[in-house]
């Protein structure tokens, strides 16, 4: 956690020096939302229902495992979902680009590749989410679109909004960027359809999501696994995610002794010199970037999201209601 993030979550008084910048951020955001409401900026709808999974804070909240589990569940309900992602950190030669399980993370981005490796459903990266969503409907015949992030991407009209928040850090000091961690004010939660809390305690009207870890998987040889209990000495852990401390605390809660916990910036483009030729534990998001040069002693810890039955049933009802409404308008 860098010095600015520490200030957001520890209530540092000096953050008031950033209040003028936060006011400018609020003004620009408010003007943008107003422009969409008034039709000065055009928003577009695709023929399939759109579910946006996003957040109102910067940093990791658990959106990626949420998207994976959501799409798995949608397939179990008989839907043919497709995922649209901005592809942050990737530089593709053209868009929209369909992600394959063996795509280069430097081209498509680390999170889209991670999601695609867990899902058989199509995933497209495109900075223009409207274009990407239309491509999923027209080329892949998806009957529901899941947008990985994009809560503030108002150009793409959405039918259901799911906001994921960190159950431990929640909204920090409650101020907008850069004075606080918020992209939008806390009022935005009341406008969304579902608020999902990753860990901690869910408040009234919120739905709890928990992350369950599996066995360690070898980065170089994915068919090899080992238990956390088999680590009989302190080991190094690295994380290049939005909230690295969550990963380190998860390992410690499982009884892993850490000789070093090294945090990198989110979406860090790992290279071989970043890590030692020794036992290293990392997240699965980092592993997809380290696999081409991985050492045999590097392992990642997969996690999967568990969603409440109440949330799933309410979401299913919303989807069915949305379909009946669209059919009636035809």
First to last CA, the chain: 51
Give the whole-angstrom CA distance, residue 6 versus residue 39: 39
Residues whose CB is less than 8 angstroms from the CB of residue 302 and which lie 6 or more positions away in sequence, other chains included: 213, 214, 217, 284
Distances (CA, A) of 127 to 46, 116, 265, 288: 16, 17, 21, 21
Query: Which residues make up each annotated binding site for ATP?
Result: 57-64
- Based on its alpha-carbon atoms, the radius of gyration of the chain, rounded to whole angstroms, reads 20
Alpha-helical runs (H) found in 77-154: 105-108, 110-118, 129-140
Annotated binding site: 57-64
Which helix (H) or strand (E) element contains residue 210?
A: strand 207-213
DSSP 255: T
d(CA 169, CA 171): 6
Cβ 282 vs Cβ 294: under 8 Å: no
Please provide the DSSP assignment of 261-304 as one string.
EEE--TT----GGGS-SS-EEEEHHHHHHHGGG--TTEEEE-EE
Give the three-state DSSP class for 19. Answer: helix
205, 165 in Cβ contact below 8 A?
A: no
CA distance linking residue 155 with residue 119, whole number of Å: 26
* Beta-bridge partners for 306: 210
């Amino acid at each position: 956690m860098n010095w600015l993030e520490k200030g957001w979550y520890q209530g540092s008084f000096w953050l008031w020096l950033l209040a003028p910048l936060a006011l400018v951020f609020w003004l620009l955001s408010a003007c943008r939302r107003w422009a969409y409401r008034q039709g000065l900026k055009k928003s577009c709808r695709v023929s399939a229902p759109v579910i946006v999974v996003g957040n109102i804070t910067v940093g990791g909240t658990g959106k990626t495992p949420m998207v994976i589990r959501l799409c798995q569940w949608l397939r179990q309900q008989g839907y043919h979902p497709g995922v649209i992602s901005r592809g942050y950190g990737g530089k593709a030669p053209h868009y929209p680009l369909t992600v394959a399980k063996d795509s280069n993370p430097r081209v498509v981005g680390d999170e889209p590749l991670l999601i695609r490796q867990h899902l058989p459903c199509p995933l497209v990266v495109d900075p223009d989410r409207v274009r990407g969503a239309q491509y999923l409907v027209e080329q892949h015949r998806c009957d529901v679109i899941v947008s990985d992030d994009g809560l503030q991407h108002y150009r793409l009209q959405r039918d259901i909004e799911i906001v994921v928040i960190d159950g431990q850090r929640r909204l920090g000091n409650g101020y907008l960027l850069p004075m606080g961690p918020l992209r939008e004010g806390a009022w935005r939660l009341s406008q969304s359809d579902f608020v999902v809390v990753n860990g901690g305690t869910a408040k009234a009207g919120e739905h709890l999501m928990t992350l369950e870890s599996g066995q360690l998987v070898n980065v170089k040889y994915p068919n090899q696994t080992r238990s956390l209990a088999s680590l009989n000495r302190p080991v190094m852990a690295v994380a290049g995610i939005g909230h690295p401390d969550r990963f380190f605390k998860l390992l410690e809660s499982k009884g892993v002794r850490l000789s070093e916990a090294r945090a990198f910036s989110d979406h860090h483009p790992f290279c071989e010199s970043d890590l030692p030729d020794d036992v290293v534990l990392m997240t699965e998001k980092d592993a997809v970037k380290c696999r081409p040069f991985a050492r045999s002693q590097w392992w990642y810890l997969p996690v999967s999201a568990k969603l409440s039955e109440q949330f799933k049933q309410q979401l299913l009802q919303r989807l069915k209601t949305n379909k009946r409404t669209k059919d009636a308008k035809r």
